[in-house]
Amino acid sequence: MPDIIQLLPDHIANQIAAGEVIQRPASAVKELLENAIDAGATDIQLIVTDAGKGMVQVIDNGRGMSPTDARMAFERHATSKIKTIEDLFSLRTMGFRGEALASIAAVAQVELKTRRAEDELGTFIRIENSVVVQQEPVQCPVGTSISMKNVFFNVPARRNFLKSNTTELRNIIDEFTRVAMAFPEVKFGLTSNGQQVFALEKGSLKQRIVQLLGSQYNAKLVPIKEDTDYLTISGFVGKPETARKTRGDQYFFINNRFIKSAYLNHAVTHAYEDLLSKDSYPSYVLFIQLDPQHVDINVHPTKQEIKFEDEKIVYAFVQAAIKHALAQFSIAPSLDFSLNADIQQLDAVSKPVTDDIENKTISSSLYQTFTQKNQAHKIEPGGGLKPLPTSPLGRHWIDAKQQTDEIKKAAQHAAGLSSPPAGELEGAWQSELAKLREQLFEVSPKTQYADLEYEMRPVSREKRFQWIPETPLMQVHFAYIIAITNHGYLLINQQGAHERILYEQLQKAIFGKPIATQQSLFPVSIELQPGDAVLLTELLPDMQQLGYQVEPFGQHSFVIHGTPADVDSGNEQKAVEQILEHYKNFNAEVKFSRREKLVRTLAWQQSIKAGRSLSDKEMRSLVEQLFLCTVPNTTPGGKPTYVEYPLDQLQRTFG
Ligand code: ADP
Ligand code: MG
């Protein structure tokens, strides 16, 4: 038998490596913009055609490259930014892996023009499939222009994997926004298919935020600025009234690098405590600067996740800084926070304080915030430590959940479904139990636990029970309705039931007669951030069919002319924002079509939620309509809409 292991040829190895770094045109945008920043550019222009599938080009006025460097730049692991592994921990550049240009050259046709100020002539290089097909001197301005054409032309499987142009353009705008936000001192432009989408003059961070996210933030930003010897925090948070139904405007930068961190996001949200309603998200643009040795940015191929040496201390600082700022602007009434016990153990907290550091620290307002409760640097070891406080909102949520769980348990118990004491679990009992479960939910056991309707079988029309319309209905805890049947009673989940009703109505409307629109007396205009604007544009035709009459108005603005009748006037903007947020966060293992996602989103959004008191008339109409549905027993998401408690079962329960 011959030996079978071979070394992969370079271009294939590069293509494989490219899979991590370049997943879509937007990934190339990020890498090229970051290279321009690293090259010290003060003017960076991004040009895309066909949502980047045709071309992505970045032109900068940075330091340029020598002819040899220009060639070297496309080799894998070729970088001018680090020389030793230690350099990784004192890094001040965006890039360091030396993979981006090699990856781009492996999956696209690339042209480079570059010149340094000291060179009279620049260099032109054309590369295809990792092979240099042309290199010659060229006249060009100082700086670098790199264009990537026909991405994945040589990897059709990946090209087919790309999403619609609107989606890919949205991704590009997101990446562009993240880089442009971090460098307000740099001029940026974005042109898509010949149309200028952004022209950002250099200016302050505040100006940049307003340019990128919209003028609704004007005069609504609270500045954050705290310096400590461990880290500094700066940036802005939105006043509570700018909180949005979408998670869109949340930006964290660590040493000017955009990162995603649910943990730090939690710190910010927490700082607002009950200034925000439960379903809204604070807007923020926050920059944390700290010594690069305290973070590891080499934990994720596109560097969007990082590891802090002391995650908890960053959390505490972020939270304190924001509380402090909100309080200063008389937005939050008090400065009440405590520190997690772990924080006290951290180096930065326990290390000796020199006079110099002490003086500097004492003068910072963050310090004063900390010492109001004699905490942080001044904590006596072992004394006065409390866990991080739970926000009132958090507590409510837990209470509500506990209550629901208890109600569920009680309900199951009443129906004889709670587990019998050990020892009694004889075979007969078990099969009885299983039968009962099925009967209760009228669905197959599989469906009972499935989240999605696609697995569900329709319920037979001849039901085992009938609701008796003449009997009284009763609402329980503003969430459930008790309805009497011919042999037992039903416990109906009001929100789930309404979602089912709306889902079936909207299903019909999207392919047939549109939902009636109620014209607004005063059309409401809304301004969205670019990514959301692209998404909404994509959804408009279907939304119109479902009763929303919304029209584009300028670049990222829309005017809401009408909504379905059950959206109260004054709530139009909130409704549209909720739709976008829910749509974007739609998580299902199954790929639904855009329409299906929209229908499900609207059914959820328009449904009456738990917590709403219902009149007798409303309850009656709800129950009536529920049983006119094709699949009355589950929500579109596959959860039960009601549980039946048959009389014979009740009798058995009570012996
Ligand atoms: P990295 O940024 O991780 O070093 P890249 O593959 O992105 O790796 O780039 C390789 C090298 O090419 C960089 O280290 C830099 O020296 C050079 N380079 C890339 N883009 C530019 C640019 N726009 N201007 C000047 N030099 C550049
Ligand atoms: Mg790079």
Tens digits of residue pLDDT in 415-435:
333 333 333 333 443 444 444
How many other CB atoms are found less than 10 A from the CB of residue 462?
A: 6
Q: Is the Cβ–Cβ distance between 289 and 231 less than 8 Å? A: yes
Q: Is the Cβ–Cβ distance between 264 and 312 less than 8 Å? A: no
Give yes or no for residue 18 CB within 6 A of ligand 1: no
What's residue 175's pLDDT? 96
Residues 6+ apart with CB under 8 A from 410: none
Q: Is the dihedral of CA 316, 317, 319, 325 positive or negative?
A: positive
Q: Residue written as tokens 């940015």? A: 297
Residue 215's Cβ-count burial label (10 Å; 0-12, 13-18, 19+) is exposed
What's residue 359's pLDDT? 60
129: phi then psi, degrees, rounded to nearest 5: 55, 40
C-alpha to C-alpha distance for 63 and 116, rounded to whole angstroms: 6
Work out which ligand 1 atom sits closest to the CA atom of 58.
Answer: 23
Q: Is the Cβ–Cβ distance between 27 and 151 less than 8 Å? A: no
C-alpha to C-alpha distance for 336 and 615, rounded to whole angstroms: 41
What's residue 334's pLDDT? 35
Q: Is the Cβ–Cβ distance between 447 and 455 less than 8 Å? A: yes
Q: For residue 384, what are the CA distances in angstroms to 269, 338, 344, 373?
A: 25, 9, 11, 10
What's residue 508's pLDDT? 85
The amino acid that residue 215 corresponds to is: S
Taking a 5 Å cut-off on Cβ, the residues next to ion ligand 2 are: 35, 95, 100
| 376-400 per-position pLDDT tens digit | 333 333 333 333 333 333 222 333 3
What's residue 632's pLDDT? 86
Give me the helix-helix angle, 594-606 and 572-584, nearest 10°.
130
Q: Write out the two tokens for 18.
A: 């490219």
Residues 6+ apart with CB under 8 A from 481: 473, 474, 475, 490, 491, 492, 494, 497, 614, 619, 622, 623
The answer to pTM > 0.85 is no
Q: Is the Cβ–Cβ distance between 259 and 215 less than 8 Å? A: no
Give yes or no for residue 143 CB within 6 A of ligand 1: no
Strands 284-290 and 250-254: what pairing?
parallel
Give yes or no for residue 36 CB within 6 A of ligand 1: yes
Nearest-CA neighbor of 453 among 283, 240, 634, 227? 634
C-alpha to C-alpha distance for 443 and 438, rounded to whole angstroms: 6
Work out which ligand 1 atom sits closest to the CA atom of 80.
Answer: 14
Give yes or no for residue 144 CB within 6 A of ligand 1: yes
C-alpha to C-alpha distance for 576 and 525, rounded to whole angstroms: 11
Give Dmax (Cα) for the chain.
99
C-alpha to C-alpha distance for 134 and 148, rounded to whole angstroms: 15
| Cα 13 → chain centroid | 33
Give yes or no for residue 98 CB within 6 A of ligand 1: yes
Nearest-CA neighbor of 611 among 527, 521, 532, 493? 493
Nearest-CA neighbor of 236 among 281, 203, 177, 285? 285
Give yes or no for residue 81 CB within 6 A of ligand 1: yes
Nearest-CA neighbor of 111 among 60, 70, 172? 70
Intervals of the chain under pLDDT 50: 332-350, 352, 367-463
C-alpha to C-alpha distance for 492 and 79, rounded to whole angstroms: 63
Question: From ligand 1's centre to the CA of 91, what distance in Å?
Answer: 15
The residue whose CA has the least distance to atom 13 of ligand 1 is 79
Q: Is the Cβ–Cβ distance between 366 and 317 less than 8 Å? A: yes
What's residue 588's pLDDT? 54
Rg (alpha carbons) of the chain, rounded to whole number = 30
Q: Residue written as tokens 């680090």? A: 82
C-alpha to C-alpha distance for 248 and 178, rounded to whole angstroms: 12
Angle 360-362-366 from CA coordinates, rounded to 5°: 100
Q: Is the Cβ–Cβ distance between 456 and 638 less than 8 Å? A: yes
What's residue 357's pLDDT? 55
Q: Write out the two tokens for 192.
A: 């898509």
Angle 591-594-600 from CA coordinates, rounded to 5°: 85
Give yes or no for residue 123 CB within 6 A of ligand 1: no
Question: From ligand 2's centre to the CA of 96, what distance in Å?
Answer: 6
Task: Name the DSSP letter for residue 627.
Answer: T
Nearest-CA neighbor of 105 among 136, 123, 131? 131
How many other CB atoms are found less than 10 A from the CB of residue 577?
A: 19
